[in-house]
Structure 1
């Protein structure tokens, strides 16, 4: 079980008429609601700030200036694409496998970067 923070960096202004806060925002997500709430409590986040409670995409918004301290507290850094994969896994009732996802991404990247040497003539068998 893990808690993750993505790199979405969504530009937004939040707050009421008396107090506005502009920042770029990331998403704090976890493998389970209980784990997310426990971690958020350690960070001093108010449970009322949890968005989409009970849904596959439940999360806390974290302003960019606080992201480093969230990572320092133990959140695993993930890309926004990996965050989407986590939501999809939760929606399907599956376990999110970050290591497996990264291995697949690396394999795809390696394949895309592989250079194939093509010759205009057949290559003779070794030893000929």
Structure 2
């Protein structure tokens, strides 16, 4: 029987991203949620031969997609509800390090961010409400 979690992790991607961009943004955004909530990480793995592997998030990550307008609406609703939020902007594709990434985000007002992805962690029902109308990423 599958475990039902009280919280939910959802990544929302713009529907205009190239496959490599979608994967890159998902990885970065998920790392943001993990860094903010280390308690979400499970135990390390070990195979039958005794090889050790790193621990992973202990709950599923849902990946959705939507138009630029839908992404902005989900961002606005998430901010309004005060849920933990990670963002990835289009300008971050042109940088090569965390300092420059933070600088391009800091240079834009919240409503002017050119978002290509967000990740949110919060109560299951609340996250479902802020992402209502978005579709599963293919």
TM bin (shorter chain):
0.3 to 0.5
Higher relative contact order (CA 8 A, sep 6+): 2
Could you say which structure has the larger radius of gyration? 1
